[in-house]
Structure 1
Amino acid sequence: MKIITSKRISALSLGTVFAVLTCSAQAVGFKAGETDLELYGYAKLDVIYDLDADLGNAILRNRIPLDDDPGADGHLTMHAFESRLGFTTATMVDGDVLRTVIETDFYGGGGFADGGGELRLRHAYGEWKGLLAGQTWTNFGNVLSLYETIDFNRDLGQGGGRQAQIRYTTGPFSFSAEDPKGTGTGHAGGEVIAEDTNQFRFPDLTARYQGSAGPVQFATAALVRFLEYDADGETVSNSAWSDDSATGWGVMAEARARLTDTLTLRGSVTHGDGIGGYLYLSPAAPGYVSSSGKLETIEGTGGGVSLSAKTGPGLLTLAYGVARADVDDAYRDGAIAGTADERYTSTTLNYLWSTTKYLTYGVEAGYHTREQVDGRDGDAVRLQGMVRFNF
């Protein structure tokens, strides 16, 4: 049996780092021919109590009840859909290590709402000599500012989800071409609000720089994308300035600072125009078609901050996140209804501790809000506990 060490983690890709962290860095290793294989994962039970409306198996912000809306309060949910299984391989090829990662969970079949239980692909990619190809976290996403939550839908305001992509990394820089339709949660990464057919002819392009200065690690990333739709049942104009198309962009910055041996501060901010699902759990799509038939982009902004403290046998984390979309013009134009959401916030407090490296417990309290473009708003409280068996 082999356990992944901190030296090995430092050599892995950003996507692998996140996968390892969420699995508490436990792995069972063995060798097949010239290839080292490691199996990792966990079985997890979530116990959820919503004081207000039922927010789903993982928090769905559009289910937060609005003030004065009728509905039953108090809902208990228990499930094991987050249970995870993955494996990595490492093979020496031409003097460099070729790595692959395949990881699944059981949130398939509508698990974020009331379904779940079906096997779902999370990661499937290979990496060799700086070249990565497959599905993993977008190069535009957050890694340094992530912290562990009990609820599966982590806090708001961060960048991106998992995308099919091809990426090249050299030193602190990485560049990618990614699936324009998007595979992350929230609104589809590329689809605009249009009765006509969305067009996807070009990949989304990203660039990222990651570095450190003393106890601070930081990263910044940029995104550019081409949005279009078929207005007349024919292929849209090749001109990027056609009414049927628009250019979207985004920027992101994040940092993690180890303040003391027991305190860690993390933060991130993401902003863009036509950014869509690259803003994690954004309230809005990347764009809409106006009454004149022109494709208009929607601005999105989000961010978050967290403070983690080693306390007793575990880790205590307090965090706040926000995601907002500027949909006022779309509302005035009639492209969206007044009931469309434009702002979500989350404040969470959790404590996770382990009695052994194979067994982790956790408790979490979250206060979540949403606001609609017509001014109506509401809030909800979720309490959650977990027991996780790591291997």
Structure 2
Amino acid sequence: MKHSKLAVLVSGIMLATTGTVQAATDMTFGGYIKTDVMFSDYSNGAPDSGSLSRQFYVPGTIYGTAGNGKQVVDFQARESRFNFKTVTDVDGHKLTGFIELDFMTHTDGNERVSNSYSPRIRHAFVSYDNWTIGQTWSTFQNPGALPENLDFVGAADGTPFVRQALIKYTNGNFQVALENPETTLTPNKGGARITSGSGMIPDVIGRYNFKSDGGSAFSLAAVLRQLNVEENLGDTNNPNHVDSSEFGYGVSFAGVVPVGKDDFKFTATYGEGLGRYMSLNFANAGVLDASGDINTITSYGGFVSYRHWWNEQFRSSFTLSGVSVDNDASLTGDAVNKEAYSGYVNLLYSPSKPLTFGVEYMYALNKKESGADGDLNRIIFSAKYVL
């Protein structure tokens, strides 16, 4: 009883002291529940159960596992997500907080009994007027131009796709941001990817959003980044100390063009040293030469997608996507990724606005510098309910 009275007293004090703030704060909960059933055919043998490629299409992961069966089926609800948002008026200033979680990419669970997977952070940021601080979409990416595909990313090989911590300032149509740096490199003559978090210079990104009189929306973004590595790449008995840096850059143009009720979406991207910013890190940003210096790797790609509404409840998207990498095989070796292409066609049915059922066929082909390749045929059935 005493504890109950104390709780009531504390609650009353909190309400009294924060009543003004609470009255000016809007809180919303959102997200969706999505279940996928995926029938996949890998040309060289399917990856093991739980592998990332079994969750969604990741360029560079479909070359197959020798000895495994080629045809597999996966059921999952891991794309389901939830988010919480607050918007507060602080003396005429807009303060927003947002956090969103889902259950993708983890390998900490299994499909044997409970399919238990840990939640992961997608977004976690605070914005105050024109400033945004926290983790969200990279300023280099335009998520509004992504196609409406059932695959988790959709057009993964042809689009920038990065979420990371940043500090961003927005002024009208202009955005400029300092974002988390992370360098991925190929060792000289090839080998396991080097991931380096050394370096003191954030990635600098600028973006301009604009619209036409006809309602089309476009974005032009550019990134300038320092590639940096400073570490021992050998074992403890034979250390090979490397200390090198180089600058990389990239540009990306994206848009959404209405065609009556339909729409046309696209993204085109080019860069030297883009690395992880493009195609889910299909290629690294650079390669080390014999002297331990970084040589940037050029990559370019894009996608086009047309969405057609058959009527008020049925719609389809037709998507083509691809990326190509200019490797210097004398430095990278021939086991590195060279090209990736994918195509998608789907039919979605929404009997009511928050509920969607759909089926999608996708085909993907990945090639290495050596000429080795792997392809994936996949049919996805999905049910999605937006909270």
- The two structures have a TM-score, normalised by structure 1, of 0.81
Distance in 2 (CA, whole Å) between partners of 1:283 and 1:321 is: 14
Question: What is the number of residues matched between the two proteins?
Answer: 339
**Counterparts in 2 of 1:147 and 1:290: CA distance versus 1, 3 Å:** same
User: Do the aligned residues in 1 keep the contact of 2:185 with 2:195 (CA within 8 Å)?
Assistant: no
User: Do the aligned residues in 1 keep the contact of 2:59 with 2:279 (CA within 8 Å)?
Assistant: no
Q: Are positions 1:78 and 2:80 aligned together? A: no
Q: Which residue of 2 aligns with 1:372?
A: 368
**Counterparts in 2 of 1:294 and 1:323: CA distance versus 1, 3 Å:** same
2:88 to 78, 86, 91: 91
User: Partner letter of residue 357 of structure 1?
Assistant: K
- Indicate the larger mover: 81-90 or 106-115: 106-115
User: Partner letter of residue 173 of structure 2?
Assistant: P
**Counterparts in 2 of 1:267 and 1:382: CA distance versus 1, 3 Å:** same
User: Do the aligned residues in 2 keep the contact of 1:64 with 1:379 (CA within 8 Å)?
Assistant: yes
User: Partner letter of residue 38 of structure 1?
Assistant: T
Q: Which runs of 5+ in 2 are unaligned?
A: 1-20, 47-52, 188-193, 234-241
User: Do the aligned residues in 2 keep the contact of 1:57 with 1:113 (CA within 8 Å)?
Assistant: no
Distance in 1 (CA, whole Å) between partners of 2:116 and 2:26 is: 32
Q: Which residue of 2 aligns with 1:301?
A: 300
**For 2:276, what is the secondary structure of its paired residue?**
helix
Distance in 2 (CA, whole Å) between partners of 1:162 and 1:379 is: 27
**Counterparts in 2 of 1:112 and 1:131: CA distance versus 1, 3 Å:** farther
**For 1:107, what is the secondary structure of its paired residue?**
coil
Distance in 2 (CA, whole Å) between partners of 1:199 and 1:356 is: 50
**Counterparts in 2 of 1:63 and 1:231: CA distance versus 1, 3 Å:** closer
User: Do the aligned residues in 1 keep the contact of 2:184 with 2:196 (CA within 8 Å)?
Assistant: no
Distance in 1 (CA, whole Å) between partners of 2:105 and 2:124 is: 16
**Any residues of structure 2 matched to 1:65-214 within 5 Å, and which?**
65=63, 71-110=68-107, 117-155=117-155, 156-181=157-182, 190-194=183-187, 198-214=197-213
User: Do the aligned residues in 1 keep the contact of 2:139 with 2:175 (CA within 8 Å)?
Assistant: yes
**Counterparts in 2 of 1:113 and 1:357: CA distance versus 1, 3 Å:** same
Distance in 1 (CA, whole Å) between partners of 2:28 and 2:375 is: 43
Distance in 2 (CA, whole Å) between partners of 1:149 and 1:72 is: 27
Q: Are positions 1:382 and 2:372 aligned together? A: no
**Counterparts in 2 of 1:165 and 1:222: CA distance versus 1, 3 Å:** same
User: Do the aligned residues in 2 keep the contact of 1:365 with 1:382 (CA within 8 Å)?
Assistant: yes
Q: Which residue of 2 aligns with 1:318?
A: 318
User: Do the aligned residues in 2 keep the contact of 1:227 with 1:246 (CA within 8 Å)?
Assistant: yes
Distance in 2 (CA, whole Å) between partners of 1:324 and 1:196 is: 21
Distance in 2 (CA, whole Å) between partners of 1:385 and 1:206 is: 37
Q: Which residue of 1 aligns with 2:33?
A: 43
**Counterparts in 2 of 1:120 and 1:222: CA distance versus 1, 3 Å:** same
User: Do the aligned residues in 1 keep the contact of 2:169 with 2:177 (CA within 8 Å)?
Assistant: yes
Q: Which runs of 5+ in 1 are unaligned?
A: 1-30, 182-189, 234-241
User: Do the aligned residues in 1 keep the contact of 2:164 with 2:179 (CA within 8 Å)?
Assistant: yes
RMSD, aligned α-carbons:
2.5
**Cα distance per residue 1:72-120 (max 9 Å; x no partner):** 2210000111110001111001213211110000115238998972100
Structure of higher CA gyration radius? 2
**Cα distance per residue 1:346-366 (max 9 Å; x no partner):** 100112221122321111100
**For 2:330, what is the secondary structure of its paired residue?**
helix
Distance in 2 (CA, whole Å) between partners of 1:98 and 1:325 is: 42
- The two structures have a TM-score, normalised by structure 2, of 0.81
